[in-house]
């Protein structure tokens, strides 16, 4: 495992925690906790906030390679990277031609790294022989990797699972072949495809991949706390952790965990900063998707922000109004009110 040791001060966009953890090609990674790519969740607003607050890398939502090249609006939104200094675009597909073309387009549009998705368990993805379905056909998986690596000058990385099911835990073989093909970092979600998100991720099973490759390894799955992150690194031998669902409504959590792994103070930001992040995220969604779609898209994020603040316990009626209103101005008013520190402190004392 690579040594982690650095100091931390006030984080600003593009700042690192100090010394290098590892490199992905020419890209220096200075924080050992990353924000996971999550479809319908890790929009550009969330990624900007997480990166600014110390996430080592933030990865886009999964982008369908052919849709991206054809200029489809949803794919272009998912691949947006404005305001993120190390922009990682995750591509998914089953055709080497489209994967290569999409990688070229991502590089031309400013991507620092292209990540290949071979871990998504969703039926609509695996039914098209993409995502984790590629673990059932390693030859096709390698053709996709070869096409992507050959298409760009920037680093190519890979995210996958332990295998399709418990009878085919072939992540070490795929990772070894991917490294030989030029992949420069591997992320493993500690479940099989057939597990989806059930049960607990098996962090110790990731160690077989550590033994198979020399490039940096990232462990993913059920990382919710600093203690989880420490246990993940110990069990897996990985160089970094990837935080997913636990960061929804807490985009600062990834950097908080990274600081803790460095032996630095790992504490959430003040209430006012949390409120400001929620407001920034909401405004970003309205700008990105338009007011009508943005209000609907934001609801899962707003629900998480107020749940983590404890506001839902004390103001259930306002929570319901926030998550059902179609009036973005009313939603903003309710959001600010629900995340008001003095109000929460007073309610907690009742």
Measuring CA to CA, which residue among 231, 223, 226, 232 is closest to residue 257?
Answer: 226
Same domain, 150 and 284: no
Q: What is the pLDDT of residue 180?
A: 98
Residue 44 lies in a domain: yes
Same domain, yes or no: 121 and 249: yes
For residues 229 and 327, state if they share a domain. no
Q: How far apart are CA 158 and CA 39, in angstroms?
A: 17
DSSP-based three-state secondary structure for 86: coil
Supply the pLDDT for residue 7: 31
Tell me if 153 sits within 8 A of 113, measured CB to CB. Answer: no
Q: Report helix, strand or coil for 29.
A: strand
With respect to residue 166, please indicate whether it lies within any of the assigned structural domains.
yes
* Structure confidence at residue 335 (pLDDT): 93
The answer on 331 and 214 residing in a single domain is no
Question: pTM for this structure?
Answer: 0.90
pLDDT tens, residue by residue, 261-275? 988 888 889 888 999
Tally the domains of the chain.
Answer: 2
Domain identity same for 221 and 250: yes
CATH number for the domain including 235? 3.20.20.70
Q: How far is CA 316 from CA 171, 237, 321, in A?
A: 45, 43, 9
Are 120 and 236 members of one domain? yes
Question: Are 75 and 166 within one domain?
Answer: yes
Of the three residues 261, 293, 328, the one that is the final residue of a domain is 261
Q: Which of 40, 222, 186 minimizes the C-alpha distance to 124?
A: 40
Residue 199: predicted pLDDT: 80
Q: Is the domain of 105 the same as that of 217?
A: yes
Final residue belonging to a domain, choices 210, 235, 261: 261
Pair 195, 340 in one domain: no
Report how far Cα 275 is from the mean position of its chain's Cα atoms.
Answer: 22
Is the residue at 96 inside a domain? yes
Report the pLDDT value the prediction gives residue 268, as an integer from 0 to 100: 87
* pLDDT attached to residue 5: 30
Question: Is 204 part of any domain?
Answer: yes
**Local confidence pLDDT in tens for the 350 residues of the chain:** 333 332 333 343 334 445 688 999 999 999 999 999 999 999 999 999 999 999 999 999 999 999 999 999 999 999 999 999 999 999 999 999 999 999 999 999 999 999 999 987 776 776 666 787 898 899 999 999 999 999 999 999 999 999 988 888 999 999 999 999 999 999 999 998 877 677 899 999 999 999 999 999 999 999 999 999 999 999 999 999 999 999 999 999 999 999 999 888 888 898 889 999 999 999 999 999 999 999 999 999 999 999 988 776 678 888 899 999 999 999 999 999 988 865 555 455 44
- Does any domain span residue 92? yes
pLDDT digits (tens, 9 = 90+) for 3-35: 333 233 334 333 444 568 899 999 999 999 999
Q: Which domain holds residue 343?
A: 271-349
Angle, nearest 10°, between helix axes 328-338 and 316-324?
A: 150
- The verdict on 319 and 292 lying in the same domain is yes
pLDDT digits (tens, 9 = 90+) for 60-87: 999 999 999 999 999 999 999 999 999 9
Query: 8 in a domain, yes or no?
Result: no
Instruction: Establish if 11 belongs to a structural domain.
Output: no
pLDDT at 2: 34
pLDDT recorded at residue 28: 95
Q: Helices 316-324 & 291-309, crossing angle to 10 degrees?
A: 160
CA 118 to chain centre: 15
pLDDT score at 162: 94
Annotated active-site positions, please?
Answer: 120
Query: Does one domain contain both 303 and 229?
Result: no
Domain co-membership, 159 together with 291: no
Q: Which of 234, 261, 288 is a domain's end point? A: 261
- Contact (CB, 8 A) for 219 and 33: no
pLDDT, residue 125, reads 73
Do residues 341 and 311 make contact, with C-beta atoms less than 8 angstroms apart? no
Assigned domain for 152 exists: yes
């Amino acid at each position: 495992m690579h040594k982690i040791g650095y100091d931390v001060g006030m984080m600003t966009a593009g700042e690192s925690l100090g010394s290098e953890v590892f490199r992905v090609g020419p890209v220096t990674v200075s924080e050992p906790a990353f924000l996971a790519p999550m479809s319908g969740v890790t929009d550009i607003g969330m990624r900007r906030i997480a990166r600014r607050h110390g996430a080592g890398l933030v990865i886009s939502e999964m982008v369908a390679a052919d849709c991206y090249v054809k200029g489809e609006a949803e794919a272009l939104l998912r691949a947006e990277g404005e305001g993120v200094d190390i922009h990682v675009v995750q591509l998914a597909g089953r055709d080497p031609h489209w994967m290569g073309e999409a990688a070229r387009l991502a590089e031309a549009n400013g991507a620092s790294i292209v990540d290949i998705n071979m871990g998504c368990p969703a039926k609509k993805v695996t039914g098209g022989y993409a995502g984790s379905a590629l673990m059932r056909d390693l030859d096709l998986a390698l053709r996709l990797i070869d096409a992507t690596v050959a298409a760009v000058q920037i680093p190519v990385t890979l995210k996958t699972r332990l295998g399709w099911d418990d009878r085919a835990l072939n992540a070490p073989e795929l990772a070894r072949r991917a490294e030989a093909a030029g992949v420069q970092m591997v992320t493993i979600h500690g479940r099989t495809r057939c597990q989806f998100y059930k049960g607990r991720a098996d962090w110790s099973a990731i160690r077989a991949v550590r033994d198979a490759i020399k490039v940096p390894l990232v462990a993913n799955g059920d990382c919710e706390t600093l203690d989880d992150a420490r246990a993940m690194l110990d069990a897996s031998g990985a160089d970094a952790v990837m935080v997913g669902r636990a960061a929804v409504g807490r985009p600062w959590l990834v950097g908080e965990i990274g600081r803790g792994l460095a032996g630095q103070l790992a504490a959430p930001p003040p209430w006012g900063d949390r409120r400001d992040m929620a407001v920034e995220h909401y405004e970003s969604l309205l700008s990105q998707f338009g007011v009508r779609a943005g209000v609907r898209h934001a609801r899962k994020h707003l629900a998480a922000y107020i749940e983590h603040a404890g506001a839902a316990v004390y103001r259930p009626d306002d929570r319901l109004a926030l998550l059902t209103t179609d009036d973005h101005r009313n939603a903003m008013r309710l959001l600010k009110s629900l995340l008001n520190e003095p109000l929460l402190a007073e309610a907690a004392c009742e």
